Amino acid sequence: MRRALWFLGLASVPALGQSVTQTILLPVPDPEANFPFGATVSPDGSFLLVPLSGSLGTPNNKVAVIDTSQERLLFRVPVGRFPEDAAVVTTPESPWVPREVYVTNSTDGTVSVLDGTFQPAAVIALGPSSYPFGVVASSDGRRVFVTSKGANEGPVFVIDSDPTSGTYRRVLQTLSIPSYHGRPVLHGSSLAVPHALPDFSHPGSPGRAWPQYSTVRVTILDPANPGDRRVLVLASLLPGYPSSEDLGVREDGIAFATTYGLNGHVHVLDLTQRAVLGSIDLNGWMAGASLMHGIGVSPTGHLGLVTSLNSDAAVLLDLEARVPLARIQLPPGARMGNEAVFLPDGTKAFVTMQDAPRVYVIGGLPAASFQLLSDRAEVPVGGELALRLRGGEARRPSIVAASLTGAGPTWVGPLQVALSPPILPLVVEGLDPAGRLGPRSLPIPPDPGLRGASLYLQAVTQDTSAGLRLSNPLRIRFL
């Protein structure tokens, strides 16, 4: 089988299409005061709203409103001190029109409300030491949920955002979820909150104001029935105070949790079944993978974008295959990527840099996930394996590559592939008008020496933009 294959030279193909295409500068006399934190996009994709927290030494009290088509700052809106996150409230009748925006102000312990034109409308006090952090709005426009970095029992604040209600813009209740929350998500009737449960009683923590050990969790509950909840443990009682700072969710309820201070894995969750499905390893794809912070999920749910508070790169994920897709190099001068968000049409993404007055624009994004599929995970020697490709662009070239020596990873030109050298091509063919290939039959030699060995497979295709896209890897065992 080895003699029938030849070396796959990917080093000569063009570089990946995904890249930083623009830097949106947020200039002020004191640049440190304009450091951005979170980000959210208006429902129609016209505007990017970026809370400008500043730094701890030079806090700010503004939200930047950015024109996404012209990729420039339009104006800044006053809010509370050290704003961190924002959520746009809409209604089912007008899902593309912002009715108002809720902004969390950490230092003030307040939530600022902006009207549909992004002008100040109200301030909601949450109390001292509440440190509001993440915020998400219900799809019916009636409730807003605010997480906090306050110690002990959180809490999560439930705010009435229904203008026809007698308790409009008031805190209706608090949900007890310990503690140090990240950014939440909603899916149907399920609210998911990432959080770290500190342990001050651990031998490494006594006498310290800040815990040295914690357990990383995601709590999923029904806000209408808070007792209906389930706690998913991502890591138990680890040193260094690990946490989970952000969640992204697809329409099918599959969610993705970043982990800060853990092992460089994005955890995959099912919010409907309330279960942990697995994880995506980002080690080797970005420096500082263990300090990942934000994650954005594309509207179609096939892409994710992950930031780190200690890296010069962001990582694009294939959320269908649940594998890293591309390492996106960020311009020099900033290493603290906080949040990542996509436009509703999926053509652009934005990354806020917490240590510089910049927002990076990511372009060249693939329109769909590229998948390599097989009819079986085990095949007898002398048998046949059927391979298929889908999710590519019409009539574009594709290669299915193989390795008998391992799963890598290996850098081949601009790509980090899940194969160990030598990397060899099995199928070199163009995709059909629907961006598919196959099934293509791969005969397995009747060599008894292959029994017990594994064949590692991955495909690559080239888009019309000259960008390269990797498929998910496959492992086939010989019987």
Q: Which residue in the block uniquely carries the two structure tokens 């890591």?
A: 235
pLDDT confidence of residue 84: 98
Does the structure show a pLDDT above 60 at 85?
yes
Does the structure show a pLDDT above 70 at 237?
no
31: how many CB neighbours lie within 10 A of its CB? 16
The pLDDT confidence band at residue 202, using thresholds 50, 70 and 90, is low
Does the structure show a pLDDT above 90 at 15?
no
pLDDT confidence of residue 13: 30
Q: Which residue in the block uniquely carries the two structure tokens 């853990």?
A: 262
Q: Mean pLDDT lowest for which of 248-257, 269-278, 430-439, 452-461?
A: 430-439
pLDDT confidence of residue 326: 85
Cα separation values, 356 from 26, 53, 306, 374, Å: 9, 11, 18, 46
Does the structure show a pLDDT above 70 at 2?
no
Between residues 406 and 143, the one the model is more confident about: 143
In CATH, 19-363 is 2.130.10.10: yes
Residue 182, C-beta contacts closer than 8 angstroms, at least 6 positions apart: 133, 134, 147, 193, 194, 195, 243, 244, 245, 246, 247, 258
Domain locations in the chain?
19-363, 370-478
Does the structure show a pLDDT above 50 at 169?
yes
Cα separation values, 205 from 211, 291, 293, Å: 5, 21, 24
**pLDDT tens digits for range 257-313:** 999 988 899 999 999 999 999 999 999 899 889 999 999 999 878 899 999 999 999
For the segment 170-190, the average pLDDT, to the nearest whole number, is 94
> What is the rounded distance in angstroms from the CA atom of residue 449 to the CA atom of residue 383?
14
C-alpha dihedral sign at 68, 70, 71, 75: negative
pLDDT confidence of residue 210: 54
Cα separation values, 141 from 87, 354, 374, Å: 11, 30, 44
Q: Are 307 and 337 in contact (CB under 8 A)?
A: yes
Q: Are 39 and 352 in contact (CB under 8 A)?
A: yes
The pLDDT confidence band at residue 39, using thresholds 50, 70 and 90, is very high
Q: Are 365 and 346 in contact (CB under 8 A)?
A: yes
Between residues 320 and 210, the one the model is more confident about: 320
Does the structure show a pLDDT above 80 at 399?
yes
> What is the rounded distance in angstroms from the CA atom of residue 442 to the CA atom of residue 424?
14
- pTM for the complete prediction? 0.76
Report whether the peptide linkage leading into residue 176 is cis, meaning its omega lies within 30 degrees of zero.
no
Looking at the chain, how many residues does it have? Answer: 479
Does the structure show a pLDDT above 90 at 214?
no
Start-to-end CA span in the chain (Å): 15
Q: Are 293 and 261 in contact (CB under 8 A)?
A: no
The pLDDT confidence band at residue 471, using thresholds 50, 70 and 90, is confident
Which residues partner with 254 through β-bridges? 270
Q: Mean pLDDT lowest for which of 72-86, 152-166, 231-245, 398-412?
A: 231-245
DSSP, residue by residue, 38-78: --EE-TTSSEEEEEEEE-SSSEEEEEEEEETTTTEEEEEEE
> What is the rounded distance in angstroms from the CA atom of residue 8 to the CA atom of residue 185?
43
Q: Are 197 and 178 in contact (CB under 8 A)?
A: yes
Mean pLDDT of the chain: 87
pLDDT confidence of residue 120: 98
The pLDDT confidence band at residue 418, using thresholds 50, 70 and 90, is confident
User: What CATH code would you report for 370-478?
Assistant: 2.60.40.1930
CATH topology identical between 19-363 and 370-478: no
**pLDDT tens digits for range 419-434:** 999 989 988 888 887 6
pLDDT confidence of residue 8: 33
> What is the rounded distance in angstroms from the CA atom of residue 373 to the CA atom of residue 437?
10
pLDDT confidence of residue 415: 75
> What is the rounded distance in angstroms from the CA atom of residue 294 to the CA atom of residue 308?
7
pLDDT confidence of residue 14: 30
> What is the rounded distance in angstroms from the CA atom of residue 453 to the CA atom of residue 479?
8
Q: Are 457 and 423 in contact (CB under 8 A)?
A: no
Strand order in the sheet with 120-125: 83-89, 100-105, 110-115, 120-125
Cα separation values, 42 from 67, 238, 252, 378, Å: 10, 38, 22, 47
Return the percentage of the chain with pLDDT > 90, whole number.
58
